[in-house]
Amino acid sequence: MSKGPGNPLDLRAWLEEARSLGELKEVAGADWNLELGTISELNVKKSNPPALLFDAIPGYPAGYRVLTCSTASPARLASLLRLGAERNHHALVQKLRGKPAQWQAKAAEFTPRSVSTGPILHNIVDAADVDLFKFPSPLWHEGDGGRYIGTGCMVVTKDYDSDWVNVGTYRVMIHDRNHVGLDMIPGKHGAIQYRKYMQAGKPFPVCIVIGADPLGYLVSGIEVPFGMCEYNYIGAILGESVAVVPGQLTGLPIPAGAEIVIEGYAQPGDERIEGPFGEFHGYYPGKAATAPAVRIERVYFRDDPIIVGSPPAKPPNDYSYSKAVMRSALLFDALLAAGVPDVQSVWAHEIGGARMFNVVSIKQRYAGHARQAGHILNQCGVGAYMSRYSVVVDEDIDPSNLQEVMWAVATRTDPVIDIDIIQRGMGSKNDPMSIAYPYKAPFNSKAIIDACRPYDYLAEFPAVAEASKALQDKTRAKWKDLLGD
């Protein structure tokens, strides 16, 4: 892929690749006010949805665009992660296995490269002229608290007492022409840095990258280790350092090929009501809450800028597929690292936001193998947060096929012995069920469902009543027109 001179995170180079893969659709005339969001939401519920590039948005100049659904197919995800052509999600998970550990190990070699100029500096707006409504930020859903300019974005901040630059994906709501709300859940790296500035009574400098190659928000939206800069991690994936220019007010590094960057400061004491906005599991959180307000004092944008949008919603949503693939690969690696043999496949289902309903298939080798796999799937480092159901199935079941998984649950379990419950596990205050919980802290309970044939009755277990694989393949080949591939 042509990356543009010195601009490895250039969105436009990637859009060309998506177009050549037949994975991009241009849409003219959709309104920012609910229409664009609803089209994207319906699109992403189709199988293998294209990415959508909205243009001619009423009330905005032609060329001011919004990209959605960018990571929602195996082919696009493979190209974003630079894994070569891949249109099958099982194969993609296999290609991805082991890669996150390699990227992390190599990240230190890919310090961002400072350059003096880049397309992001083509248009610069000073404080007095800042008007965030000049960009077609969508009102995504009817219940949202405002227009969200930042969803598939990268929020760049720096530690108060060290050189650590963090890049995180946190939602960004427009309050007025020059203020945005920044929702960083406590414990997230941006939130930790923000607290330090507030404790020192100092303004918190922020640059928000509103559009870039979606690899950017894919990485800033995953848990890169504390103290590591996501630009380094991105460089390790790309095999070259990200080219950055310094923000003119804050000095924070911004990708030279970014589409739009807004820069400013959160002032001590200025927290405002933010949201509501949907969560990855498909619900609005219970109460509106306050979040830091950032006063925007400079805006940078390319000619004909593109907002990258990726709103959460009831799954499947804009980014649930990418989370399912990434977390499935990480869970697979975690099971192997914990010593579980003969793992065939893992799938972190989109319906559970890739956290709450995960399935592993194994070839059972010994008594207790299935429970071991289920408990580790549920409790390993990548899996524990907000996990709810972990299901273990035999090797004849495809973990990503809910119909098959639930057939195994319905027919190969005796609930009284095949469901283990873990109490007071690692939950979240964002759990939609938390309103009904008795706990004072964010616990939840978890179920491990062993939907494998009972190991002690494997030989006698009834045979499956369906045509053999060989007969199915032969019949499909002969009756292709009738049955399809």
Could you list the residues that contact ligand FMN (CB under 6 A)? Answer: 151-152, 166, 168-171, 183-185, 188-190, 221-224, 310, 319
Distances (CA, A) of 383 to 51, 147, 169, 374: 29, 32, 20, 11
Name, in order, each residue with C-beta under 8 angstroms of 35's C-beta and a sequence gap of 6 or more: none
C-beta of 136 vs 216, nearer to ligand FMN: 216
| Least distance CB 320 / ligand FMN (angstroms) | 10
Closer residue to ligand FMN (CB): 188 or 195? 188
Which of 221/305 has CB closer to ligand FMN?
Answer: 221
Give the nearest distance from C-beta 85 to ligand FMN in angstroms.
Answer: 24
Which residue minimizes CB distance to ligand FMN? 221
Is the CB of 126 or the CB of 223 nearer to ligand FMN? 223
**What spatial distance separates the first Cα and last Cα of the chain, rounded to whole Å?**
31
- Alpha-carbon gap, residue 213 to 471, rounded angstroms: 46
| Smaller CB separation from ligand FMN, 152 or 211 | 152
Cβ closest to ligand FMN, residue 262 vs residue 408: 262
Complex with ligand FMN: residue 183 or 418, whichever CB lies closer: 183
Rounded to a whole number of angstroms, the minimum distance from the CB of residue 172 to ligand FMN is: 8
CB 45 → ligand FMN: shortest distance, Å?
17
Report in angstroms how near the CB of residue 186 gets to ligand FMN at its nearest. Answer: 9
Q: How far is the CB of 448 from ligand FMN (least distance, A)?
A: 25
CA separation for the pair 16, 204 (Å, rounded): 37
Peptide bond into 276 cis (omega under 30): yes
Question: What's the CA gap between 41 and 317, in Å, rounded?
Answer: 7
Instruction: From residue 478, give the alpha-carbon distance in Å to each of 194, 455, 465, 468.
Output: 64, 38, 22, 16
Q: Between 140 and 319, whose beta carbon lies closer to ligand FMN?
A: 319
Cβ at position 70, least distance to ligand FMN in Å: 11
Count of Cβ atoms closer than 10 Å to residue 105 Cβ = 10
**Which tokens belong to 193?**
């840095």
Closest of 330, 306, 327, 314 to residue 153, by C-alpha: 306
Task: For the CB of residue 120, give the shortest distance to ligand FMN in the complex, in Å.
Answer: 21
**CA of 146: how far to CAs of 70, 173, 313, in Å?**
23, 6, 15
In angstroms, rounded to a whole number, what is the distance separating the alpha carbons of residues 160 and 316?
Answer: 38
